[in-house]
Amino acid sequence: MNLTPDSFYAKSRLASAEEIVEKAGKFIEEGASIIDIGGQSTRPGATMISAEEEIDRVVLAIEVIYKAFPTVSISIDTFQSEVAKAAIHAGAKIVNDISCGSFDPELLKVVARNNTSYIGMHHTGTKDTMHEIPERADIMQELIHFFTQKKQLFTEIGIHDWIIDPGFGFGKTIQENFSIIKDLKKLHFINLPILVGVSRKSSIYKTLGVSAEEALNGTTVLHTMAIKNGASILRVHDVKEAKQAILLMEYLN
């Protein structure tokens, strides 16, 4: 659920409290088990905002969703510790961090102190360079090395309950993005749950020669492959279609 004015997928943008509760209710009805709230756009070229502005965008949404649906898990998509702290206070149970603790080291302390579930994403570079694509020989070996190091670090500071996100679309070539889905089983070596976030991303719509609005079918194909290869969580814009893919794959298995 994007609370930004410039999300790359326009239909995911929301504004009013009524609209937020209505959308959350629809997600839950269609099968969502986690509502992920984001107030900071991380698309290429996005302008970074302050923690105060991000808090203003997300806290009300978390409060109204928590009040309306107290049993659903709420995740805060942030790399800023002050935002995470405010979101947890408002009812968030998961911190979803695209920096995997690199942009704001205080964030990991907030997670450990509150015993909050955590999602850490693979990335390279800084906030300003995370979409630049470095040269590398093997994306899967880099992911294994990255998450192995993070797992050791997180264990030392008391974070054990966390989920890895290979970072589809962040600083990777189109071929590398597809290789991640194809070879996802290699990440089982890390022995942590895997989240996959491919929904309507540019590697899909550029490959198919369509727009983000027309990328649902391609998204479903990659969701199916991700489930087949061991994804534990799908982060999606289109809950109904993703849930259908999950149910059919469970039936086939």
Q: What is the pLDDT of residues 109-128, one digit of tens each?
A: 999 999 999 999 999 988 88
- This prediction has a pTM of 0.92
How buried is residue 109: exposed, middle or buried, by Cβ count under 10 Å (0-12/13-18/19+)?
A: middle
Query: 203 in a domain, yes or no?
Result: no
Count of alpha carbons within 13 angstroms of residue 131, beta-carbon side? 9
CA end-to-end span of the chain: 30
Query: What is the pLDDT at residue 17?
Result: 85
Q: Is 186 a catalytic residue?
A: no
Q: For residue 215, is it within any domain?
A: no
**Residue among 201, 228, 240, 243 flagged as catalytic:** 201
Is 226 among the domain residues?
no
- 3-state SS assignment for residue 105: coil
Contact 201, 248 (CB under 8 A): no
CA distance 123 to 129: 10
Domain presence at residue 216:
no
Sequence-ordered list of residues with C-beta below 8 angstroms from that of 15, at least 6 positions apart, any chain = 3
In tens, the pLDDT along 75-107 reads 999 999 999 999 999 999 999 999 999 999 899
- Please report, for the domain that includes residue 53, its CATH number: 3.20.20.20
111 contacts 157 by C-beta, under 8 angstroms? no
Helix 139-157 to helix 106-114 angle, to the nearest 10 degrees?
Answer: 60
Within a domain: 246: no
Residues of the domain holding 93: 10-197
- The one-letter amino acid at 107: L
**Structural domain includes residue 223:** no
How many domains is the chain built from?
A: 1
Q: Which residue among 57, 85, 235, 243 is the active-site one?
A: 235
Question: Is residue 140 a part of any domain in this protein?
Answer: yes
Q: Please check whether residue 164 is in contact with residue 184, taking contact to mean a CB–CB distance below 8 angstroms.
A: no
pLDDT at 46: 74
DSSP state of 13: B
Active-site residue 113, yes or no? no
Whether 222 contacts 203, CB under 8 Å = no
